[in-house]
Every structure is written in C-alpha cells, then in structure tokens.
C-alpha cells in the first residue's frame, strides 16, 4: 500500500476522533510520539509554524531524547472542495537552552501537494535562543520564487518591560512581476512589534512596511497584510 495512503488514513482517523483539536502523547523507548489534530511543533523559534487550515487534518511527531525529530502534518486532507491535499514532512535537531548554554535548532520541511503539479516546495530553518532572546532564520524555495526571513525576539527590555520582535524578509522571483509602469523581481518587507503587560491587559503595537509603493503594491506578495506602512494597536484582557 502507498505510504502516503497509510499516513492519510491515520490522519483522517485522528481528525474524526473529536470535533476539537486533540494531541495524544506516548513514550516509545527513547522516543516521544505525538499524534493529533492540532500542530504539535513550531520550528526555528516559532519562525516556521504549521497551521490548521482545514476541518479534516492531522499529524504525527516523533522526537528522540537526544534532540532529533521527524514528523508529518497534513493541514488539509483534500476532502473539501477547493482544498487540495497537503502533506508537510519535516526533520530536524533541537537542543534545549540550559543555564548559560544557548539552545539551537535546525531542520528542513517539505510542503507536498500530491494533487497539484509543480507546487511542492522546501523550507530550511535554524534558530538560537539565549537569556530570553531568540534569533531565527528560514529559507524557502518554491516554484518561481525564493523567500528568506530573519526573526529577532528580545526578551523583556528594561526599564520599560517591553518585548521587542523584529522580522525582515527578502523575496526573489524567477520572472518579473509586471505592474502599471514597470516590473518587480526582488522586494523586501519588514515588521516591528512592541508588547507589554499593563493594568491586567496585554498591549501590542506593530508596524509593517516594504520597499514597494504605489502601483508596485499591485504585485506585492510578502509576509505582511499590507504593502505600505501600516500601524496596528491591540489591547487584550483575559476574562478568566
């Protein structure tokens, strides 16, 4: 039987076990096995984070006590209309931060779309953390484009007790993207996020921007929701 069919059957069974996302964890010798209908891992200090995009989804994650891990996640089982089958297969190595020794991680993830031609892509990632600060990087190779991203997270910066998060990305196209008045082949974008607790609430201020403007924004396809400079402020408070 096709291995992909076996994985699909397992994941479909998991997704049908409960209406809410669940994760089942078991120890198998020196391995930690997780099966679930919700992503069980984020990679490169959160820079690469599988998403749950469909009603029918599932995955497995196998981690060795020494730090090696492998897994597969299906954010879409391809059952619903306009929702093709997607399989994300990954492997990597992670070392936890202990005392003054920095923690680090590196690995690769393959995004496969068995029902679509020329849609598969790879993403390589690495991250390091020390004393509450995190630095991560990812390089994604997809048909027609290459995307590289750097992420820097600083712990609580004194004396204002503000957490700082910076992200910078560069996007390169194999062929120019045309807009009124010209074309774009390479562009960059970035974001800055400041957050802190205040009076029982979590305050969050962010700014995003790119080096594109005007008609160029018609071909923008970066990490931000908006092409040009955009501020957003949020205040959240837990009721329970």
Per-residue pLDDT of 187-223, as tens digits, reads 999 999 999 988 888 899 999 999 999 999 999 999 9
Q: From the CB of residue 210, how many other CB atoms can be counted at a distance below 10 Å? A: 23
Q: Kind of pairing, strands 145-157 and 133-142? A: antiparallel
Q: Give CA angle at 39 (38, 43), nearest 5°.
A: 165
Of all residues in the chain, the percent with pLDDT exceeding 70 is 85
Domain boundaries, the chain: 1-129, 144-240
Q: Output Rg (C-alpha) for the chain, integer angstroms.
A: 20
150, pLDDT greater than 60 = yes
Q: For residue 55, what pLDDT is reported?
A: 59
* Listed range (3-7, 25-29, 99-103, 217-221) with the worst mean pLDDT: 3-7
| Closest residue by Cα to residue 168 from 135, 194, 129, 122 | 135
Query: What confidence score (pLDDT) does residue 9 get?
Result: 44
CB 96 within 8 A of CB 104: no
pTM above 0.95, yes or no: no
Provide the pLDDT confidence category of residue 114 given band limits of 50, 70 and 90.
confident
DSSP label at residue 223 = S
């Amino acid at each position: 039987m096709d291995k992909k069919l076996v994985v699909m059957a397992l994941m479909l069974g998991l997704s049908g076990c409960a209406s809410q996302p669940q994760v089942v964890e078991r120890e198998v010798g020196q391995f930690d096995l997780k099966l679930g209908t919700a992503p069980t891992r984020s990679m490169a200090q959160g820079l690469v984070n599988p998403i749950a995009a469909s009603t029918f989804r599932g995955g497995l994650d196998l981690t060795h006590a020494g730090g090696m891990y492998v897994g597969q996640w299906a954010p879409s089982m391809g059952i619903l209309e306009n929702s093709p089958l997607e399989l994300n297969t990954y492997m990597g190595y992670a070392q936890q931060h202990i005392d003054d020794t920095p923690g680090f991680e590196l690995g690769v993830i393959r995004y496969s779309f068995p029902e679509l031609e020329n849609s598969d892509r790879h993403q390589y990632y690495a991250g390091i953390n020390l004393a509450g600060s995190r630095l991560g990087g990812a390089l994604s190779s997809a048909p027609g484009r290459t995307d590289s991203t750097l992420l820097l997270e600083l712990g609580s910066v004194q004396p204002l007790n503000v957490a700082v998060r910076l992200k910078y990305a560069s996007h390169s196209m194999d062929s120019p993207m045309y807009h009124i008045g010209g074309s774009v082949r390479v562009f960059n974008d970035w974001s800055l996020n400041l957050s802190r607790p205040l009076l029982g609430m979590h305050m969050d201020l962010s700014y995003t921007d790119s080096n594109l403007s005007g008609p160029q924004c018609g071909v923008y396809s970066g990490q931000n929701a908006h092409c040009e400079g955009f501020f957003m402020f949020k205040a959240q408070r837990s009721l329970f």
